[in-house]
């Protein structure tokens, strides 16, 4: 708040949250780090220098302390492809790397170079780096999620800079994060970061007239599909996935700054502008006023929905207006062959209302949908669950 003069405006909030940030997830895209000949060492050196400066700058939060960074770096596949092209071996030079297995192999080839390049870039600043490769499955099981969290905490306590990428080599489609934007948003939750910075090859988020938007006040209300030209396929990268990731972070009260990563000193300039109260480059995605519980974030985004339920108007009203659970009687259709405990999309009239964990398998739900409690008991016996999705396991307005 600004000295009791009422609510702060978005610029004041931006300046405050950037200066106070104690743990920042910085995501860098392949298009920022690589050129036609693979990894661009000068670019990595420049970004490493800027991140070193940000770490050295004490965070302005009340409890003070050193600012910490978790880096999410793409570029393994692009680096691997460049290594193939540069090799003197004809079959390797002409290899088709567009298929899944070839991209995974290219990632395996490039990940080592990517880490080596980052190591070399951070070495002049005496910052040790640690490679962390994750698949979505690693974060799906609560125990593994907590293990990963402990590892990050330890690395950060040692003042080591974790550099994270998807473990492309072993990730199969349903275990993939889809893209590193999604991975970065899950890491914001996992590490308890208070700021996310997405360095991209674009100047920021563009509005319909092609102008960079200085800020997005309510990313939940933004029609992402329209803004991003109908490109709604998660996993294809692009601004859609950056905004989807930013929306997730916003839901747990964490802002995202989308910056043109190839502009010289852009990170340093953004922090300097925030300190001086000047306009920042890129686009600021404001955090939501009311944060959702972390547990709901985890259940909603740990995995891709395995199916969907269509619900009737009465049930939709009960969920949206009264915060109720979803009962069997409100379900009028379903898709997918999911197990009990699966994550489902909740749809009404073709619109996604949210996601939640199902108490029933698809087979059982088919038998009881549309039925009242006593009718369900007659089919499944007395030990059934009263609700299909309990309200505690339901996230309305999910960014999926």
Contact residues: ligand GLU, CB under 6 A: 29-30, 74-78, 107, 165-166, 168, 179-180, 237
On the 0-12 / 13-18 / 19+ scale of CB atoms within 10 A, 197 is: buried
CB nearer to ligand GLU: give 70 or 77: 77
Which residues in 19-67 belong to E strands, given as ranges? 23-28, 34-35, 38-39
CB nearer to ligand GLU: give 107 or 193: 107
Residue 59, CB-side half-sphere exposure with 13 Å CA sphere:
20
Query: Taking a C-beta distance cutoff of 8 angstroms, is the pair 214, 279 a contact?
Result: yes
Cα–Cα distance, 235 to 241 (Å, whole number): 7
CB nearer to ligand GLU: give 79 or 309: 79
Could you count the other beta carbons within 10 Å of the beta carbon of residue 205? 25
Residue 157 CB, shortest distance to ligand GLU, in Å, is 27
Nearest to 374 by CA among 323, 309, 327, 313: 327
Residue 280 CB, shortest distance to ligand GLU, in Å, is 24
Residue 233 CB, shortest distance to ligand GLU, in Å, is 13
- Scanning 293-396, the segments in alpha helix (DSSP H) are 294-301, 313-322, 362-368, 373-380
CB nearer to ligand GLU: give 38 or 328: 38
On the 0-12 / 13-18 / 19+ scale of CB atoms within 10 A, 107 is: buried
Under DSSP, the state recorded for 3 is: T
CB nearer to ligand GLU: give 131 or 303: 131
Residue 215 CB, shortest distance to ligand GLU, in Å, is 24
Residue 288 CB, shortest distance to ligand GLU, in Å, is 24
Task: Work out whether the CA dihedral 185, 188, 190, 191 comes out positive or negative.
Answer: positive
CB nearer to ligand GLU: give 237 or 282: 237
C-alpha distance from residue 216 to each of 247, 292, 317, 330 (Å): 10, 19, 28, 35
Residue 179 CB, shortest distance to ligand GLU, in Å, is 3
CB nearer to ligand GLU: give 156 or 183: 183
Residue 178 CB, shortest distance to ligand GLU, in Å, is 8
Residue 244 CB, shortest distance to ligand GLU, in Å, is 12
Q: Which residues contact 142 (CB under 8 A, 6 or more apart)?
A: 298
Spell 265-292 as b/e; 16+ CB within 10 A means b: ebbbbbbebbeeeeebbbbbbbbbeeeb
CB nearer to ligand GLU: give 237 or 287: 237
């Amino acid at each position: 708040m600004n000295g009791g003069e009422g609510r702060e405006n978005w610029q004041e909030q931006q300046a405050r949250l950037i200066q106070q940030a104690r743990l920042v997830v910085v995501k860098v895209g392949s298009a920022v780090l690589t050129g036609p000949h693979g990894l661009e060492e000068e670019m990595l050196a420049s970004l490493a220098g800027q991140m070193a400066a940000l770490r050295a700058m004490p965070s302005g939060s009340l409890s003070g302390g050193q600012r910490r960074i978790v880096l999410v770096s793409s570029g393994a596949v692009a680096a691997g492809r460049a290594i193939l092209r540069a090799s003197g071996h004809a079959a390797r030079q002409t290899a088709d790397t567009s298929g899944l297995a070839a991209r995974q192999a290219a990632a395996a080839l490039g990940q080592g170079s990517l880490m080596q390049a980052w190591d070399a870039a951070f070495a002049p600043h005496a910052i040790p780096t640690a490679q962390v490769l994750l698949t979505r499955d690693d974060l799906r099981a609560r125990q593994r999620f907590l293990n990963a969290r402990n590892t990050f905490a330890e690395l950060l306590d040692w003042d080591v800079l974790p550099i994270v990428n998807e473990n492309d080599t072993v990730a199969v489609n349903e275990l993939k994060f889809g893209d590193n934007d999604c991975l970065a948003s899950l890491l914001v939750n996992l590490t308890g970061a208070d700021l996310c910075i997405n360095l991209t090859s674009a100047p920021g988020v563009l509005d319909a007239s092609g102008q960079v938007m200085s800020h997005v006040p309510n990313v939940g209300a933004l029609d992402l599909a329209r803004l991003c030209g109908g490109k709604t396929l998660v996993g294809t990268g692009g601004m859609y996935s950056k905004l989807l990731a930013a929306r997730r972070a916003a839901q747990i009260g964490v802002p995202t700054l989308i910056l043109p990563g190839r502009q010289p000193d852009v990170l340093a300039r953004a922090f300097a502008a925030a300190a001086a109260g000047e306009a920042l480059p890129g686009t600021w995605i404001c955090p939501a006023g009311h944060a959702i519980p972390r547990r709901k974030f985890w259940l909603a985004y740990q995995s891709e929905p395995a199916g969907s339920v269509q619900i009737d108007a009465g049930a939709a009203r009960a969920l949206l207006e009264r915060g109720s659970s979803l009962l069997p009687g409100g379900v009028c259709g379903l898709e997918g062959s999911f197990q009990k405990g699966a994550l489902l999309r909740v749809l009404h009239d073709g619109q996604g209302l949210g996601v939640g964990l199902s108490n029933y398998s698809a087979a059982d739900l088919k038998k009881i949908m549309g039925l009242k409690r006593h009718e369900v008991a007659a089919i499944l016996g007395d030990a059934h669950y009263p609700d299909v999705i309990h309200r505690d396991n339901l996230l309305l307005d999910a960014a999926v």
